[in-house]
Amino acid sequence: MSSLLAFLALLVVICAALALFFRRKTSSLFPPSVPSALPWIGSALSYLSNPKEFLARCQKQYGSVYRLLLGGREVIVFSSTAAISSVYASEDAAPQAMHNQIFRAFIGRYPKDTGFSVEKVIFPLLDQVFSKRSLEDLVQPLAQMVFARVRNLTQMRSTQVSLMTFLAEPLYFAVNVVLFGNGYPSDSFDDFRVMDETMPERFFGKPYWFLPSVRARSRLIPRGIDYVQKMQTSTNNSALGTEFIQTLQKKGVSPEEAACHLLTFSWGLHANTQGTIFWFFLFLLSDPVALAAVRDEVDRAIKHEFGDLHGFLVDANFKNLDGPSFTLLTSAIMEVMRLTATFMGLRTATSDFDLKDSDKLVPVRKGEYLLGNVDAVHMDDSVYPNSHAFVYDRFVYCEGKLRTDGKPWFSFAAGRHMCKGRYLAMYELKVSAILSLYLFDITPVGGPPPPWWPPRSQRVNLGFPRMENIIVQLHPRDVVEGI
């Protein structure tokens, strides 16, 4: 009996593979299909091992638009600016439910079916809380909290620290307090980092040594449940925590499930910001000219625009940080994001339609997946000369507008579904960079970095390239005397 069942299961798989094979063979010759010897799996293994390099090879061989088979999914990849913008703005292409995929990776299972859609229930809440107007009242104390987390380091003559911990922990703590209140387990940074380290393998289903992250998750979830339960009866009016939990509670979501959704959201809130600030300093430390220019701008701004550090901590609002006093800083942050941020948002065709790519029409069938290859335009020398180099003053930034001189810049996504936390993220990045540059001299342990630094990680990544831990030497600058 078991042999018969196994035979039938094998027969079903073979039939499905053959059906998919002939479907691909009979599809139009344009766009071209990337061949693969593996049925159903297709090019998934090559893609997951290094998405950037694999898509770059495909673009070079097949042009700006082509088809991939990724784990049973027919994916049309677009690599031109106009097509990418059209894909993410089209009403015929719906975004995938990424929250459920991240939930599975972080929590270890898919969300329980409670009859509500995160995109329809939580996203409108995020639009409200993360709007620039709403955040204006929230972020004012964030700079002071970040400073409070690093102040003890200014009292030391010199110390060695993990660069990631030094930059990311103060932001993790401060943002959690601002958005979720004092009851949130904001001292869970170490467990969060352990989870973040394995998220790419978890998300893509690759083998990894999971025991440390399982233990970290087993500590995080009970603390999250405790927070949710207390918030249901608390008068703590945190900006996001209360609304988030009450919204789920009205939909009949249990405290345990609400905690899992909240922890999943927390990963998305912190992971990309931490990756950006980490790589920002890696690039600055590898370019003494850029480091000196950005630091000089920070020093001038604090002295002439704010009077001193205390004035900055009091008046570090959106208007001041978005102004011309921090043009180079903002440009350098945007350049780091152009070089490192990998936006892999899939869209699903909700109907048959034709999408224009240059002078050709691309036939898209209902149910097919669409992917904009953002790296293709970010690394195009005709768009960004010397595109693979870190050019800290490549972008201009003025009066609160992300100005790219008409050039494509998709690091905060594109179309109708821009990153909802983009205003908060830019604020966090600027505050962290300003305080770190103003208060400390930072050098990699072992002396000046070699010309090839920062190194490029080849490990699978999710959002930002991953690297081994970098240890740096902190030396408080003369400006910290009397703080």
Q: Per the annotation, where are the binding residues?
A: 419
Residues composing the chain: 483
Q: Rounded to the nearest 5 degrees, what angle is found at the Cα of 99, between the Cα atoms of 96 and 103?
A: 135
Tokens of 205: 């289903």
Binding residues for heme: 419
Tokens of 429: 């990045």
Sequence-distant (≥ 6) Cβ neighbours of residue 200 within 8 angstroms: 206, 459, 460, 461, 462, 466
- 3-state SS assignment for residue 460: coil
Buried/exposed 135-171: b ≥16 CB within 10 Å, e otherwise:
beebbbebbebbbebbeebbeeeeeebebbebbbbbb
DSSP string covering 109-171, please? SPPP--S--HHHHHHHHHHHHTSHHHHHTTSTTHHHHHHHHHHHHHTSS-EEEEHHHHHHHHH
Buried/exposed 291-300: b ≥16 CB within 10 Å, e otherwise:
bebbbebbee
Query: What are the beta bridge partners of residue 347?
Result: 95, 370
410 and 338 Cβ atoms separated by less than 8 Å = no
Chain centroid to CA 458: how far? 18
